[in-house]
Amino acid sequence: MSAPSVLYDAPGPKAKVRNTVYSVVFLVLLAAVAWLVVAALNNKDQLTAKMWSPFLSGDTWTVYLIPGLGTTLLAAVLAIVIALPIGAIFGIARLSEHRWIRVPAGVLVELFRAIPVLMLMLFANFFYVWYTDIDSDIRPLFAVVTGLVLYNGSVLAEVFRAGISSLPRGQSEAAYALGLRKVQTMLTILLPQAVTVMLPAIVSQLVVVVKDTALGSTILSFSDLLSNYRILSANFGNTIPTLIVIGLIYVVVNWVVTRLAALLEQRMSRRGRSSAPPIKPSAVAVTALPGGDPL
């Protein structure tokens, strides 16, 4: 007999039948919606072999998809590499005991969290146009990366702050008792543990960074993976197949990022564990009694 659950009541016979009926009805409705979607696409000739044949050509991948994917990954990697340390710095600053550090850091974090990423990209683009001499060919990349860094850096700051705040106070108190300074305690003890604790949230934000690169192609002339769909659909008239293929590429990229992060989390969780077998004390022969008299 299984132990009763403390979170919910186990369903009885009638509830099990009812749940089964609900599941069957939902699957039937889902299949009906899927059939309607497929039928509508088929009526528009979007599922014919002619619409999918361009993706069997090497030129489609080497000229459009792979270069667009490379630009997307470049923007995402640059944004991630810059946003992570900025998020850590501002997350630590928000926990500072000095008001002149904590308050400005909190204002900046809340400000950039409240502004949409697309607006940050636009502001950055106008700034680079008016106040810098950056070449127009790479200006969209700078604007996209800047917008992603400002937004995701502020979000990651909150992630790091929450991770550090969730640690027991005994961690820092023990470090202070050993003579470590506050900065040493934060960088060597609290921050590494916070990264381990909040790694799933950090990974989720990194996936968001990869997807948000597509915002740059909507109004900026940022030649990423999504922007190339317009060229392909204009050349071959296969808008839906092109979007499906590009969507699958995004799914694969985000899945790879998630898997790499899971492997990193497993490695970090095993880092502090020793693989050496425990040391067993050697047997010592007793040759005298406690009083000093020989046996």
Q: Is the pLDDT of residue 276 over 70?
A: no
Quick: pLDDT tens for 78-94: 999 999 999 999 998 99
Distance CA(49)–CA(65), nearest Å, equals: 19
Alpha-helical segments (H) within 213-238 = 216-219, 228-236
- Which whole-number Å values give the CA distances from 185 to 114, 179, 181, 295, in the listed order? 31, 10, 6, 54
Structural domain range at position 252: 51-269
Task: Answer whether residue 275 is part of any domain.
Answer: no
CB 180 within 8 A of CB 117: no
pLDDT of residue 272: 53
Longest dimension (CA), the chain: 104
Under 8 Å between Cβ of 155 and 90: no
> Both 152 and 129 in a single domain?
yes
Query: Closest Cα partner for 76 from 252, 219, 207?
Result: 207
Q: Does residue 36 lie in a domain region? A: yes
Q: Does residue 284 sit within a domain?
A: no
Where is mean pLDDT largest: 5-14, 144-153, 188-197, 209-218? 144-153
pLDDT of residue 166: 83
d(CA 65, CA 71): 10
pLDDT at 1: 45
Identify the CA nearest to 187 among candidates 264, 91, 272, 101: 91
Q: Alpha-carbon distance 207 to 262, whole Å?
A: 13
The CATH number that applies at residue 193 is: 1.10.3720.10
On the question of pLDDT at 245 being above 50, the answer is yes
Are 26 and 43 in a shared domain?
yes
Residue 287 pLDDT grade (very low, low, confident, very high; cuts 50, 70, 90): low
Alpha-carbon distances, residue 118 vs 21, 62, 122, 144, 241 (angstroms): 44, 29, 6, 9, 26
Number of structural domains in the chain: 2
- For 104, the token pair is 């400005």
What number is the average pLDDT over the span 242-266? 86
24 shares its domain with 109:
no
Domain match, 253 and 200 both: yes
Asked if 75 and 211 sit in the same domain, the reply is yes
Least-confidence region, from 167-176, 196-205, 251-260: 167-176
The more confident residue out of 231 and 171 is 231
132 and 38 in a single domain? The answer is no
Q: What percent of the chain lies above the pLDDT cut of 70?
A: 88
Mean of pLDDT values over 279-292: 50
Tokens standing for residue 227: 């922007």
The more confident residue out of 274 and 232 is 232
| Domain identity same for 42 and 55 | no
C-beta separation of 295 from 288 below 8 A? yes
Q: Does residue 117 sit within a domain?
A: yes
Q: Which has the higher per-residue pLDDT, 277 or 60?
A: 60
Across 10-14, 145-149, 152-156, least confident range: 10-14
pLDDT of 219 over the 80 cut? no
Q: What is the mean pLDDT of residues 148-171?
A: 88
Note the pLDDT of residue 275. 45
Residue 251 and residue 115 share a domain: yes
Domain end call among 7, 29, 47: 47
Q: Are residues 33 and 87 in the same domain?
A: no
